[in-house]
């Protein structure tokens, strides 16, 4: 029983190999070539239909609470310590400092 020969046609080139050849050796160039051909033919990127509709992905940005201006002003002036400011605003420590950093 001999090794079976397999003909592979890739990008106009014919390869003759045995069946033992791992698919990943031939698979990656073949897959990248197919993707390149699809892009050149005008195929759309995954998710482009959602982007066209205006669908938002990911976690929504943290919102400032109603008392943010006065509490952040007191914190920046040193009248209020961070734990008290965070408690008064009812938000997490990371959220407080992230909003404070961004402005």
What pLDDT sits at residue 63? 82
Summary mean pLDDT of the chain = 76
- 83: confidence class by pLDDT, cuts 50, 70, 90: very high
- pTM for the structure as a whole: 0.46
Q: Where are the domains of the chain?
A: 1-41, 68-102
- 77: confidence class by pLDDT, cuts 50, 70, 90: very high
Is residue 85 within 8 Å of residue 96, measured between CB atoms? yes
Dump pLDDT digits (tens) for 33-72: 767 777 766 656 667 777 778 888 888 888 888 888 899 9
Is residue 85 within 8 Å of residue 75, measured between CB atoms? yes
Cross-strand bridge partners of residue 13: 10
Tokens for 73? 């002003």
Is residue 80 within 8 Å of residue 86, measured between CB atoms? no
φ and ψ at residue 56, rounded to 5 degrees: -95, 135
């Amino acid at each position: 029983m001999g090794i079976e020969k397999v003909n592979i046609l890739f990008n106009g080139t014919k390869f003759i190999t045995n069946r033992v050849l791992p698919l990943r050796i031939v698979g990656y160039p073949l897959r990248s070539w197919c993707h390149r051909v699809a892009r050149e033919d005008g195929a759309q990127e995954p998710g482009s239909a959602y982007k066209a509709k205006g669908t938002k992905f990911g976690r929504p940005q943290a919102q400032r609470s109603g008392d943010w201006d006065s509490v952040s002003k007191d914190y920046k002036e040193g009248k209020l310590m961070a734990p008290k400011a965070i408690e008064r605003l009812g938000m997490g420590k990371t959220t407080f400092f992230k909003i404070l950093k961004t402005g």
